[in-house]
Structure 1
Amino acid sequence: MSHLVASIQRAAPALNVVMHGEPGAAHAEVAACWDPPPGALAAMPNLRLIHSIAAGVDNILSDPALPALPLCRVVDPQHARGMSEFVTWGVLHFHRQLDLVMSNQRDARWLRPAQAHPAQCTVGVMGLGEIGSRVALDLQRLGFTVRGWARQPRALPGIEIFEGESGFEAFLADTSILVCLLPLTSETRGILGAATFAQMQPGAKLIHVGRGEHLVVADLAAALESGRLGGAIVDVFPVEPLPADDPLWRAPNLIVTPHMASVASANTIGEQIAHNVQRLLDGEPLGNVVDVARGY
């Protein structure tokens, strides 16, 4: 995180920016962090604002001693673009059966897979915030049949939306490729497990770019081994880096990527933190404030 010091100072040269543990850090008024040690924020008596350096805040909210202070996150439009690129690649990988082509190449087998119209492929997007909505609309523009699922009511033109627990089973039932872009909350932790996989079409595919703790690793491995899931692309894991002895490295038709789907740029992070610090000093409303009760 030390590279962010320069980014914040470029955006606001007058700020005194120090790393945790350096002289003066304990008396800081703003903490920019991602996974602070439990109790570290509560030990800062002058703290007025906590700012995540990413879109997610679950690592911060998990601190049982978290002070009752404003919590903000980073929202980078280019982050949504990068995520949409990654998910689009994954959807095309499965839709055009490139997973089958790659398997055939290993066996020196020449076989041309059938080509289907994208409208015949139903992509279900879990999580319809800024990023999920961008992904859903971009896939729709490519001609895919897109449906969405969210905990709260949403509306996207031309996309069928399912809401809450009551709509989850119907959402999964006709989904060919499931994309997880949910925030991590107590309700969504472990949502990618045996119960969800059992409600999907046999042979359906998974693209997981949400949060690592959404995934039940043993259940995914079992679903791939049994054929319940026909394939998966997983970018985030409960433990990172993924241990070398983890069974997912050897699971059938699984692509493991090293948490690379999309990241906010250091300049954007620095600018948004600096702008919120200035708003704090000026007594103005903060940007991208987290609803702590919801977790995002």
Structure 2
Amino acid sequence: MSVTVFFAAGEDRWPDYRDHLSAAIAEAGVNARVVLDATPEEADYIVFAPGGPIEDFRPYRNAKAVLNLWAGVENIVGNATLTQPLCRMVDPALTAGMVEWVTGHVLRHHLGMDVHILGQNGIWRGGIAPPIASERPVAILGLGELGRACGRALAGLGFPVMGWSRTAKAVPGLDCHAKEEGLRHVLSRAEIAVLLLPLTAETDTILNADRIASMPRGAIIINPGRGALIDDDALLAALDAGQIGHATLDVFREEPLPPSHPFWQHPKITVTPHIASETRGSSASRVIAENIRRGEAGESFLYLVDRRQGY
């Protein structure tokens, strides 16, 4: 018997997934048709991303799971019409992309590359030597799949990496902390802070004026997590005052970032357009296919979202 997989993630994404998803599901041993349009009665699984055709999930009573294309689920987890199991995306390629982006920008700021890349002008700027990695404390806020992977990569380069999460976790090679006192401890020592927390009621504006002020003067903030983790006005004030040396931001409260937003013109802010880690159709399709296989086999879904925690 064939199952129907409704690709409700937007027509613009369909070309990247149509062939990959059908092939991955077939390889997983499931007889399925993947369609861009399906009636509520037909849909056995829903592949979802914000901006797609579904906002009300109530008609889809037959759907066994909603499979999110993104690692973050803040745009769907609070939807009161969603009663089906919800799975977030945990994709090895997405994780690898995030590790590469974070490592690149940490090294950029650690080595002071901008001095030579952006400010040559015929001037020989010798005699500038950064500390070695073991002398540069780095904090990773968020110890989920992405945070752990980034922390391990940076620790492998010699950085002393502190990790923080809302609940206590142990990650080999990382100095892990939790709760408010742990956050204070980590931020007070972090010369570079990387934000990889999910966006929940507890993490919204977690980096506020008070916590930014607790960081070492001239510290670097790198945010590939969620835009609302940071108080924008507090960040701008801290940059202007020299409390924060630079902020590299990949995510924002409003996306695309409006052309009039002060982040664009600020000399101490680097804006990247939510590219830290893209979901890739070829690899994400295999994750989706495995969860469909599990659903058909009566096994537990991977990466099931805890609605109470919000991720």
TM-score when scaled to structure 2? Answer: 0.87
How many percent identity over aligned positions? 36
Aligned residue in 2 for 1:2: 14
Q: Name 2:213's counterpart in structure 1.
A: 198
CA contact (8 A) 1:18 1:25 kept: no
Q: Deviations 1:50-95 (Å, cap 9, x if unpaired)? A: 11112221111132x2322211122112222221111111111111
Structure 1 runs not aligned, ≥5 long:
none
Residue number among 163, 168, 171 corresponding to 2:186 in the alignment: 171
Partner amino acid for 2:43? A
- Contact 2:40 / 2:61 at 8 angstroms: preserved in 1? no
Q: How does 1:9-24 map onto structure 2 within 5 Å?
A: 9-13=22-26, 14-19=31-36, 22-24=37-39
- Residue among 42, 46, 57 paired with 2:73: 57
Please tell me whether residue 248 in structure 1 is matched to residue 263 in structure 2.
yes
Task: Using the TM superposition, give the Cα deviation of residue 246 of structure 1 relative to its aligned residue in structure 2, in angstroms.
Answer: 0.7
Secondary structure of the 1:58 match is: coil
Give the counterpart of 1:67 among 71, 82, 86: 82
Whether the 8 Å CA contact 2:25–2:292 is kept in 1: the answer is no
2:20 corresponds to which letter in structure 1? S
The aligned counterpart of 2:5 is: none
Letter in 1 for 2:32: L
Partner secondary structure for residue 220 of structure 2 = strand
- Determine the structure 2 residue equivalent to 1:44: 60
1:113-141 C-alpha deviation (Å, 9 max, x unpaired): 22321111100011111211111111111
Among 127, 130, 140, the residue aligned to 2:145:
130
| Alignment deviations for residues 206-246 of structure 1 (CA, whole Å, 9 cap, x no partner) | 11011122233222222212212100111111111111111
Aligned to 1:110: 124
Paired with 1:180 and 1:6, the residues of 2 have a C-alpha distance of 34
Q: How many residues align?
A: 292
Residue type matched to 2:230 in 1?
L
List runs of 5+ in structure 2 lacking aligned partners. Answer: 1-12
Measure the CA separation in 1 of the matches of 2:38 and 2:305.
29
Q: Check 1:222–1:43 CA distance in 2 against 1; reply closer, same or farther (3 A cut).
A: farther
Amino acid of the residue matched to residue 152 of structure 2? L
Matched, 1:148 2:163: yes
Aligned partner of 1:29 in structure 2 is 44
In the other structure, the counterpart of 1:261 is 276
Secondary structure of 1:60's counterpart equals coil
Q: What is the identity, as a one-letter code, of the residue corresponding to 1:29? A: D
| Worse overlay, 187-196 or 205-214 | 187-196
Alpha-carbon distance, 1:37 to partner: 6.7
1:23 is displaced (CA, Å) by 4.7
Give, in whole Å, the separation in 2 of the partners of 1:266 and 1:142. Answer: 30
The Cα of 1:103 is off from its aligned counterpart by 5.2
- Residue identity matched to 1:209: P
AA of the residue aligned to 1:33: F
**Is 1:234 aligned to residue 249 of structure 2?**
yes
Deviation for aligned residue 1:26: 6.2
Q: CA deviation at 1:25?
A: 5.1
The question of whether the paired residues in 1 share the 8 Å contact of 2:40 and 2:62 is answered with: no
State the match for 2:114 in structure 1.
99
Instruction: Name which of structure 1's ranges 175-184 and 43-52 shifts more when overlaid on structure 2.
Output: 43-52
- With 227-236 and 210-219 compared, the bigger mean Cα shift is at 210-219
SS at match of 1:12: helix
Contact 2:93–2:283 (Cα < 8 Å) also in 1 = no
Q: Deviations over 1:171-207 (max 9, x none)?
A: 1001100000111111111223323211111110011
Give the match's secondary structure for 2:33.
coil
Is the Cα–Cα contact under 8 Å of residues 40 and 59 in structure 2 kept in the other structure? no
1:77 paired residue number: 92
Residues 18 and 24 of structure 1 are in contact (CA less than 8 Å); yes or no, is this contact kept in structure 2? no
Distance 1:25 1:16 in 2: 15
Per the alignment, in what secondary structure is the counterpart of residue 161 of structure 1?
Answer: strand
